[in-house]
Amino acid sequence: MHFFTSLFISLCLVCAIVMWSQRKEGSNAASGKVSLEFRKSQRIYLAAYLCAVIADWLQGPYVYALYEHYKFSKQEIGVLFIAGFGSSAVFGTFTGEFADRYGRKLACLMYCALYGISCLTKHSPSFWWLLVGRITGGIATSILYSCFESWLVANHNLKHFPSELLSNTFSLASSGNAIVAIASGWMGGFVRDTFDSLVAPFDLANFFCILCAGVIMATWQENKGEAGGLPTMKDPNAPSKNRTKMALLVLQRDPKVAILGITQSLFEGSMYIFVFMWTPKLEPHWKDLPHSRVFGCFMASMTLGSALIGPLQKRYSPEVYMRYLFAISAVLMAITASGVADGYTTTACFLIFEGACGVYFPSMGVVKSKYVPEEVRATIYNIFRIPLNIIVCTVLANLKTFSGLFLDTLATHKQRISNTLATHGRPKTF
């Protein structure tokens, strides 16, 4: 469709111009030895992180299609998906505690191993092996969205880099995530068509897990939940062994941290629901909706939002402008939910919302780095994800029934994806 093709190209050009100007302006922000050390530290984090998210993006579009290929019923597929949700929620706290106590680098290596196991199980048509893969994949997801960021914040503080530079790394990570999402669609479609196999994208994902592990082992230094990063817990009566108890104590005594977790769960819950619902919302307005190009527009908008972090934080703190970000996002979703918006208005609302997501992720990373104590950072990050998983599962399950409308709609999406992934990517499976 010409409209979305033109829109995608225009958004990419705007992103390129903004990012180029930001890079030129920021090239003189730091100098000397500190700048060189920071850039090196930033590169080794982004190299590992982007390999990790590529592995995640490669798998999502093919999970349901593979289960259908193995002739599982909708009820069995529902159990497999629930197992992924449940394992992320149940085991997330334990992985966070493990990371804080024994090391975030070690936990990130566990991500590579667990996701690798999940990919390998896709070769088996056995329901029980696939169930094991969903469980290990769910645990790996909880590590991806907590331990990588925890390692970054602690490493940044331990090396005494200027605090304002942390947002730059978060911004690049968010932009990179959007870019590799589109690239993963190309790569996944290529290997699927080349080898004529639905398992091929999972094998490619496993390769990136191995590559990620290699980068981590070769370049990362270990850090744990110790009094080297800031802020830290200074309560001498705090339990020193059980990190989960320490984290719960922080949530009980510091309302700012608790509110931060609630805010994250609510906004990211709405984002994941949007990921699932944007297709049926746009299809009535556009004949033969080009899903891959629409997704490309979303990712370009997200990249543009991430690029605006620098100018925003020069004028306001994240705690200030994120209030308006949440309010604007709520209005945008209210407009699209009202049912009175036409196709162009709905598309515009979705694009602005994706831009807001691009602003949100780096900003939330900075805010969490300020308020979450270093000793229990990964543990608290995973606790934040528990209500998020509950919100997403509850809403999706009650669209009708998990094995009913949810899986019927998901199956329809996956069939469309199989016809378009050779062009671009598609939002990953939760």
- Let me know if residue 137 belongs to a domain: yes
- Average pLDDT score over residue span 337-363: 91
Mean residue pLDDT across the chain: 83
What SS3 state is found at 164?
Answer: helix
Query: What are the pLDDT digits (tens) for 347-358?
Result: 999 999 999 999
- Let me know if residue 9 belongs to a domain: no
Report residue 329's pLDDT band, with 50, 70 and 90 as the boundaries: very high
Dist. CA 165–CA 183, nearest whole Å: 27
Mention every residue, 6+ apart, whose C-beta is less than 8 A from residue 271. Answer: 357
Q: Is the pLDDT of residue 405 over 80?
A: no
- Let me know if residue 372 belongs to a domain: yes
Dist. CA 111–CA 55, nearest whole Å: 11
Which range among 83-97, 134-148, 356-370 shows the weakest confidence by mean pLDDT?
83-97
- Let me know if residue 15 belongs to a domain: no
Query: What are the pLDDT digits (tens) for 417-427?
Result: 444 443 433 33
Q: Is the pLDDT of residue 429 over 60?
A: no
Handedness of CA 325, 328, 331, 336 (dihedral sign): negative
Report residue 211's pLDDT band, with 50, 70 and 90 as the boundaries: very high
- Let me know if residue 428 belongs to a domain: no
Q: Is the pLDDT of residue 29 over 50?
A: no
Q: Is the pLDDT of residue 76 over 90?
A: no
Q: Is the pLDDT of residue 186 over 80?
A: yes
Q: Is the pLDDT of residue 110 over 70?
A: yes
- Average pLDDT score over residue span 323-344: 90
Q: Is the pLDDT of residue 32 over 70?
A: no
Domain hosting 404: range is: 42-420
DSSP 59-118: HGGGHHHHHHHTT--HHHHHHHHHHHHHHHHHHHHHHHHHHHHH-HHHHHHHHHHHHHHH
Per-residue pLDDT, 234:
54
pTM to 2 decimal places: 0.83
Query: What are the pLDDT digits (tens) for 267-285?
Result: 998 888 888 788 888 888 8
Per-residue pLDDT, 421:
41
Per-residue pLDDT, 31:
45
Per-residue pLDDT, 314:
83
- Let me know if residue 35 belongs to a domain: no
Q: Is the pLDDT of residue 87 over 50?
A: yes
Query: For the stretch 338-368, what's the b/e string if a residue is b when 16 or more beta carbons lie within 10 angstroms of its beta carbon?
Result: eeebebeebbebbbbbbbbbbbbbbbbbbbb
Give the single-character DSSP code of 201.
H
- Let me know if residue 14 belongs to a domain: no
- Average pLDDT score over residue span 193-221: 94
- Average pLDDT score over residue span 331-338: 91
The CATH number that applies at residue 367 is 1.20.1250.20
Which range among 45-54, 360-369, 373-382, 400-409 shows the weakest confidence by mean pLDDT?
400-409
Work out the percent of the chain whose per-residue pLDDT is above 90. 38
Domain count, the chain: 1
- Let me know if residue 22 belongs to a domain: no
Per-residue pLDDT, 414:
47
Per-residue pLDDT, 403:
45
